[in-house]
Structure 1
Amino acid sequence: MSSRLMFPIPLLMAMATAAAAWAQAVPGGGVCGEVVSVVTREGSSTRMAVRPPASGAPVTLLLLPGGHGHIDLDDKGCARQLKGNSLVRSVPLFGASGLGTALVDAPSDWQGEDGLGGYRIAPQHAQDLGRLITTLRARTGGAVWVVGTSRGAISAVNAASRLSGAAAPDGLVLTSALMAGQAGMKKDWVAHSVFDLPLEDIRQPVLVLGHASDTCVRSPPGEMGRIVARTRGPRQQVANMTGGPAQQAPRGLEACEGRTPHGFVGQEAAMVEGIARFVRGAPF
């Protein structure tokens, strides 16, 4: 199922106002939370900034930023790198919608120049994320969905396709998923995409979200249907957002940065509102 979506201005204004109030209540700012460190492998730990979900039917989103994935959390749970990433920017909005968040940093042994690099497709990476999911589920008693954007979508697919039981996520959201790598580069991992993973093993609900104006060569919107053609979720949707602020079309790899249509710039509230609706069982 594919759709192009616009959202009513009053709804988005109300959501933005709620997010501003929520952010003021968070020590250190709107992208901060409790720093939770989990031993994920022998000799390695992973930190995440956790904000609890609203009471009722709690849902927490495990947020996986793109790029090198090393957000360099400070002691207040604030990202010192990748602050322009769409998921990092949208933490206050997710909180205002009632969803909990866990903004994930790179594991302690994958924080070099390349960050996660080729580790995003490794089975061990899925196991790392499974330990985070288990931790969050034990803390909240609710559902945990994995949300990955851009190169972070590779990590999200890795987790959803390889994990089972209590470690498996309850659902999967991919935004501006990296669907086209670049072969022949000096570093092999530059060629990786979500299609390098066993998509057929994903049996959770799946939302694949893109932007019609995304000109990043790594995330062509027209390819999103190929993802849900292989996944086997009981509820699946491809959604394509349109609109946004007028801007000169970015070129080259600049089009893959966060403050472009690739990162839903100026439309963060609409992105979050649609994701929240899908997570709760309705169409985006």
Structure 2
Amino acid sequence: MTLQRLLVSLLLCVTTLAALAQPTQTVVDIPSRPGVTERLLVVSPPAARGSVLLLAGGHGGLQIQSGGGMKWGDGNFVVRTRRPFADRGLRVAVLDAPSDRQTAPFLAGFRQTPEHVADIRAAIAWLRSQGPGPVWLVATSRGTQSAAHAAIELADAGGPDGLVLTSTILSDSRGRPVPAMALERLRIPVLVVHHDQDGCSHCAPADLPALTGRLSGASRSETMMVSGGESRGDPCEAFAFHGFNGIEAEVVGRIVDWMQLP
């Protein structure tokens, strides 16, 4: 074999190995309630250390398509960081609204219902079935109302191994904010991540003590304040400080480090 052919063969091997090392993306529909399915956008690294179930904010109706695209929410903080989470060795599942909530108002008025808890429980169980390692809920903005409520309701069985709340809803005239929930029931690790300049009226940093003071039962808890980045547009939207615009990689890295995965 000539040197040139040997170099070409080595290059092909390296390219093949690099491709095999890349996370793969699939769309999965799982049964969650009688006659209802949950669609997950799943990003899987070659060897996952654990899993994260990502819960978007807003109305939560991503309307994930069979090819992996979505009609809404691709810019949401936890949705747009799905690949960075996977690059850190985590199996990632982005949760859509269930099949019976695929039109407006999607998850609005639904996030603290037994049905939504059942949907989240089914998604957690599916992730557990995919391989070893813990399953964490990671949510942002209105998704924190879903994640905190589900973690509390599933505290005795079927719940996550850890909870990450980013840009938490701390006050809400339209519903129950996270600090008003029975957070003392949580026994799992809880990480609260907040931008020190979050300008959303529902997420004022000054209101954080109402949340963190309720986590005395958690096996481990911390409030992680971050700064920097760039704020653009509506202060409650994904590309403001509220959505950690410009510092996504740093925030994801600090979250995964805090998880202390094997």
Short-chain TM bin: 0.7 to 0.9
The count of residues paired between Structure 1 and Structure 2 equals 243
Q: Distance in 1 between matches of 2:126 and 2:76?
A: 25
Structure 1 equivalent of residue 238 of structure 2: 258
Shift of 1:281: 6.0
Q: Distance in 2 between matches of 1:215 and 1:40?
A: 36
Structure 1 equivalent of residue 99 of structure 2: 108
Q: Please list the CA deviations of residues 146-195 of structure 1 after superposition, one character each: whole Å capped at 9, or x if unmatched.
A: 0110000001001110114551100000000111112xxxxxxx333213
Q: Distance in 1 between matches of 2:132 and 2:69?
A: 25
Structure 2 equivalent of residue 209 of structure 1: 193
Q: Please list the CA deviations of residues 111-169 of structure 1 after superposition, one character each: whole Å capped at 9, or x if unmatched.
A: 22111111101122112211110111011222100011000000100111011455110
- State the secondary structure of the residue aligned to 1:277: helix
- State the secondary structure of the residue aligned to 1:50: strand
Give the number of the structure whose alpha-carbon radius of gyration is greater: 2
Shift of 1:53: 4.5
Report the TM-score when normalising by structure 1: 0.80
Shift of 1:79: 2.7
Structure 1 equivalent of residue 9 of structure 2: none
- State the secondary structure of the residue aligned to 2:61: coil
1:178 aligns with 2:159: no
Between stretches 46-55 and 137-146, larger displacement belongs to 46-55
1:37 aligns with 2:37: no
Counterpart of 1:211, as a letter, is H
Counterpart of 2:222, as a letter, is Q
CA contact (8 A) 1:225 1:238 kept: no
Shift of 1:76: 2.3
Gaps of 5+ in 2: 1-17
Summarize the alignment of residues 81-230 of structure 1 with structure 2, pairs less than 5 Å apart. 81-164=72-155, 167-182=158-173, 190-230=174-214
- State the secondary structure of the residue aligned to 1:208: strand
Summarize the alignment of residues 19-38 of structure 1 with structure 2, pairs less than 5 Å apart. 25=22, 33-38=25-30
Say what the alpha-carbon RMSD is for the aligned residues.
2.2
Structure 2 equivalent of residue 9 of structure 1: none
- State the secondary structure of the residue aligned to 2:151: helix
Q: Please list the CA deviations of residues 33-61 of structure 1 after superposition, one character each: whole Å capped at 9, or x if unmatched.
A: 211111111121111011225526x2111
Q: Distance in 1 between matches of 2:84 and 2:121?
A: 25
1:239 to 202, 205, 224: 224
Shift in alpha-carbon separation, 1:196–1:114, aligned structure 2, 3 A: farther
Q: Distance in 1 between matches of 2:97 and 2:214?
A: 28
- State the secondary structure of the residue aligned to 2:193: strand
Shift in alpha-carbon separation, 1:239–1:108, aligned structure 2, 3 A: same
Shift in alpha-carbon separation, 1:112–1:195, aligned structure 2, 3 A: farther
Q: Distance in 2 between matches of 1:77 and 1:202?
A: 33
- State the secondary structure of the residue aligned to 1:256: coil
Counterpart of 1:197, as a letter, is M
Shift of 1:196: 4.0
1:275 aligns with 2:260: no
Structure 2 equivalent of residue 187 of structure 1: none
- State the secondary structure of the residue aligned to 2:199: coil
- % identical aligned pairs: 36
CA contact (8 A) 1:207 1:239 kept: yes
Counterpart of 2:229, as a letter, is G
Shift of 1:223: 1.9
- State the secondary structure of the residue aligned to 1:119: coil
Q: Distance in 2 between matches of 1:280 and 1:100?
A: 15
1:59 to 31, 43, 50: 50
Higher relative contact order (CA 8 A, sep 6+): 1
Gaps of 5+ in 1: 1-20, 28-32, 183-189
Structure 1 outlier segments of 4+, above 3 Å? 24-27
Counterpart of 1:38, as a letter, is I
